[in-house]
Amino acid sequence: MEIEDTIKKVMATELFVEAPTELIGLDESLRNVHGLDSLGFVELRVQCEDIFGVRISDEDFSPDNFRSVRAVADLVRRLRAETT
């Protein structure tokens, strides 16, 4: 859950999602529930790359991989596993 918690913290502090981290559900839509727009998704991508030390390709930067906190965390885990 460490990755998920970090993503929630980024959403609350860097992306200004108006929900406390403990109320951000793992499977809630980042766009429909939390209001992330295209700029917000780009910022989340950059933050994940910086914090988790991964490179998110344009191919991986897809609506499927960025639909929820859980999906982003799964992507980060997969990218970390590929680089080790």
- In the prediction, which pLDDT does 1 show? 81
CA-to-CA separations, 28 to 33, 58, 67, 83, in angstroms, rounded? 6, 23, 8, 28
The answer on pLDDT for 84 being more than 80 is no
Q: Rounded to two decimals, what is the model's pTM?
A: 0.95
The answer on pLDDT for 21 being more than 90 is yes
- Mean of pLDDT values over 12-32: 94
The answer on pLDDT for 9 being more than 90 is yes
Tell me the pLDDT band of 8, cut-offs 50, 70 and 90. Answer: very high
Domains by residue range for the chain, with CATH: 2-83 (1.10.1200.10)
Mean pLDDT of the chain: 95
